[in-house]
Amino acid sequence: MKTKVFLLMIASALALTLGVAGCGSKSTNQAASSTATETAGPPATVEAGHEHAHASAGPHGGSLIEPGEEEYHAEMVHDDAAGTVTVYVLDSAAKTAVPIDSAEVTINLKHEGRGEQFKLAAAPEAGDPAGRSSRVVSSDAELTEDLDREEAAPQLVMTINDKQYRGAIEHGHDHGEGHHHTGDDTLVWGRSDIQQAGYLISIGHHSKILHAGEPVEPAVSVTFNGKPVSDAQVYNSLWSGDRTTAIAEEVRTTYEPPTAEEPAHYAQGALKIPSDATNAVIRFRIVLPGNAGEVSYDLPVTMEH
């Protein structure tokens, strides 16, 4: 009997000890969890770093492709009139160009039940380092046609730093309508008299009438001795009418060779106009070739609602 009572006393003491330890462990875990939540910040902070996930177009007005785990993005501009498909490699925020060392990227798709593969060759932009390119282009007419087919299920395949990335290309991609520049998308110069180190610079935008809540596509022409300059670096951003607040972040533009309709100029860097804006300022930042330096110019614009 004494032995049985003694064993019961030991069991009770052991249970009490484990209960106290368990309470202490639970309290510690709760404190750690609370601290981790405060360090991470509210959900709004996390969302702010992923604004690109909700964007419908890239900095060149094309459709976005998300290969891999959003380490990079790609932007496709499909121009039916020019017969070209252009892909730009962008960073995780889908804003900044990422020059890669691959000489080409691939688009795989289906045509009449069979698999087809198209290569897009590197076409470096002016600011890309030697041996690297943030832009690839194809002029294959069959590719431009196949991308319009519902059953094509196209997929972009590219290699960056020896790692392969794949991303689905959604049907309903951009067809380059914003770069045909006809009708109300006409090229309009706000200033055509800027001279800097022997260069003649014109600044303006596409579309005679700008609408609040819609993109504006700024344009810049740079010539030297009457000939177009293709190796400048041109950026634009949108500022409030009083020039104190940036309302659309700076984006880089693309050089467009002369056509029968328009002179050579830099464009395709669309900026979203806020829906409540009545006036704004397009700010152009131009890095001229060689040692000619960097210049900035502001162009006030008004919007209709």
Task: Report the pLDDT value the prediction gives residue 81, as an integer from 0 to 100.
Answer: 64
**Residue 52: is its pLDDT beyond 80?**
no
Mean pLDDT of 13-33: 38
Task: Of 158, 47, 160, 29, give the one whose Cα is nearest residue 104.
Answer: 158
Task: Report the pLDDT value the prediction gives residue 106, as an integer from 0 to 100.
Answer: 92
The answer, as to whether pTM is greater than 0.85, is no
- Higher pLDDT residue, 144 or 129? 129
Task: Report the pLDDT value the prediction gives residue 145, as an integer from 0 to 100.
Answer: 84
Distance CA(17)–CA(5), nearest Å, equals 19
pLDDT in tens, 138-188: 998 888 888 878 788 899 999 999 888 888 887 554 444 434 444 456 889
Task: Of 135, 82, 81, 122, give the one whose Cα is nearest residue 252.
Answer: 135
Task: Report the pLDDT value the prediction gives residue 171, as an integer from 0 to 100.
Answer: 57
Question: What domains appear along the chain, each with residue ranges and CATH number?
Answer: 55-168 (2.60.40), 182-302 (2.60.40.2480)
Residue-averaged pLDDT of the chain: 78
**Residue 15: is its pLDDT beyond 50?**
no
pLDDT in tens, 195-216: 999 999 999 999 888 888 888 9
